[in-house]
């Protein structure tokens, strides 16, 4: 394995002034990131999620060399982000939804050209990477438009390209789909999926849009109050919170509970005893096997499979229920 991010006991404290009484304020130290441990291997696509104020952006800022940690160990591509920021900048790409890496008054094409000079990228490499992005992100129709005139979706496609032209090993994305319409979201997601599938670029993504996670990330790191509260696959999260995949079956006759296959749980519809909702544990249970068993047990009229809803699971996780 090839570790590209190695974080141990990472902390970031901020000093804030809080109101005390009517006229006085006192200084207080708050831990925005409070002992985060994280190891990411090359080629992984991880979702870093959490409720507002959980510490996601602060972590990303420490990983990208924008903020100095208060304590802890952090290495990104083997480098210490703040003191070695210049070296790090050449090895990572950053897309922060709210900030731009582009020159507002210049056409997109010229911004890309300037970046080639900033990073001193050989012309052939630059052209190859730009051509790939032009194709996948359909940039051609607005390549000659000044950045300030681009729509949010067009600008995001430009930002993604700008972050990739120097061939980074890790791409950090903070809310890359925020504010985008459905079509632009899909375009950005498909592009990132294609990029991640190659295995060369490691993706670290923060988002409040859980569809981004479902489409892109096998691994989910959840942070709350500065602590990592889950680090594992989406399936593990579903298992942990007892969310079940469900099979809804309509039979020709009323369902006999004694026939319920082992490993499943049946709830008969109160209004229609021929309709039954079967719950499955997400682990090894296969909805296909259950359906096959049901079909040999009784006359089936219709069947549908309902996947657990990630929004529900994450809501449970955030509220600690
Ligand atoms: N410069 C700062 N000074 C003081 N407090 C800060 C500063 N930056 C962040 N914080 C506080 O640290 C905590 C974590 O903030 P952070 O921006 O990392 O959260 P987040 O998970 O990215 O939230 P969101 O989803 O709302 O963007 C919050 O309580 C925030 O108010």
Tell me the backbone φ, ψ of residue 251, rounded to 5 degrees: -105, 165
Does 12 contact ligand 1 (Cβ within 6 A)? no
pLDDT in tens, 35-86: 999 999 999 999 999 888 899 999 999 999 999 999 999 999 999 999 999 9
- Domain's final residue, options 179, 206, 239: 239
Here the tokens at position 71 are: 């304590």
CA nearest ligand 1 atom 10, residue: 32
Number of domains the chain is built from = 2
CA nearest ligand 1 atom 8, residue: 58
Predicted local distance difference test score (pLDDT) of residue 120: 92
Which range marks the domain in which residue 311 is found?
A: 244-319
Give 3-state DSSP helix, strand, coil % of the chain, rounded to 5.
35, 30, 30
248/235 same-domain check:
no
- The β-bridge relationship of strands 71-76 and 92-96 is unpaired
163/302 same-domain check:
no
Cα(152) to ligand 1 centroid in Å equals 24
CA nearest ligand 1 atom 27, residue: 52
Is residue 205 a contact partner of residue 216, using CB atoms and an 8 Å limit?
Answer: yes
Q: How many CA atoms lie less than 13 Å away from 183 in the CB half-sphere?
A: 6
181/261 same-domain check:
no
Predicted local distance difference test score (pLDDT) of residue 242: 67
- Domain's final residue, options 216, 239, 262: 239
**pTM, entire model:** 0.82
Quote the mean pLDDT of the chain. 89
Which of 63-67, 93-97, 190-194, 278-282 is predicted with the least confidence, judged by mean pLDDT? 278-282
Q: Is the pLDDT of residue 98 over 60?
A: yes
CATH of the domain at 312: 3.30.70
143/17 same-domain check:
yes
Q: Is the pLDDT of residue 137 over 70?
A: yes
Ligand 1 pocket: which of 12, 13, 14 to mutate (most atoms <8 Å of CB)? 14
Cα(54) to ligand 1 centroid in Å equals 7
Does 280 contact ligand 1 (Cβ within 6 A)? no
- Domain's final residue, options 213, 239, 265: 239
Interface confidence (ipTM) of the complex: 0.96
292/146 same-domain check:
no
Structure confidence at residue 285 as a pLDDT band (50, 70, 90): low
């Amino acid at each position: 394995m090839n570790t590209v991010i190695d974080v141990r006991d990472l902390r970031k404290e901020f000093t804030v002034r809080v109101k005390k009484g009517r006229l006085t304020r006192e200084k207080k130290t708050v831990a925005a990131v409070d002992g985060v441990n994280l190891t990411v291997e090359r080629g992984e696509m991880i979702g870093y999620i959490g409720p507002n104020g959980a510490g996601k952006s602060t972590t990303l800022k420490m990983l990208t060399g924008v903020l100095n940690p208060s304590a802890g160990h952090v290495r990104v591509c083997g480098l210490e982000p703040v003191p070695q920021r210049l070296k790090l900048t050449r090895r990572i790409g950053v897309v922060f939804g709210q900030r731009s890496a582009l020159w507002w008054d210049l056409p997109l094409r010229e911004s890309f050209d300037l970046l080639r000079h900033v990073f001193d990228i050989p012309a052939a490499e630059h052209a190859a990477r730009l051509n790939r992005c032009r194709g996948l992100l359909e940039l051609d129709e607005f390549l000659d438009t000044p950045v300030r005139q681009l729509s949010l979706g067009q600008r995001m496609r430009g930002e993604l390209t700008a972050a990739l032209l120097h061939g980074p090993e890790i791409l950090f994305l903070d809310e890359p789909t925020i504010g985008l319409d459905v079509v632009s979201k899909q375009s950005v997601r498909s592009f990132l999926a294609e990029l991640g599938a190659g295995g060369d670029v490691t993706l670290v993504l923060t988002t409040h849009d859980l569809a981004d996670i479902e489409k892109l990330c096998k691994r989910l790191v959840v942070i709350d109050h500065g602590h990592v509260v889950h680090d594992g696959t989406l399936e593990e999260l579903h298992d942990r919170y007892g969310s079940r995949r469900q099979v809804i079956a309509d039979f020709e006759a009323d369902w006999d509970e004694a026939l319920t296959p082992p490993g499943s749980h049946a709830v008969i519809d109160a209004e229609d005893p021929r309709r039954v909702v079967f719950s499955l544990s997400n682990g090894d249970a296969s909805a296909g096997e259950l359906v096959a068993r049901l079909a040999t047990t009784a006359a089936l009229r219709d069947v549908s499979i309902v996947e657990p809803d990630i929004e529900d699971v994450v809501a449970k996780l955030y509220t600690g229920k």
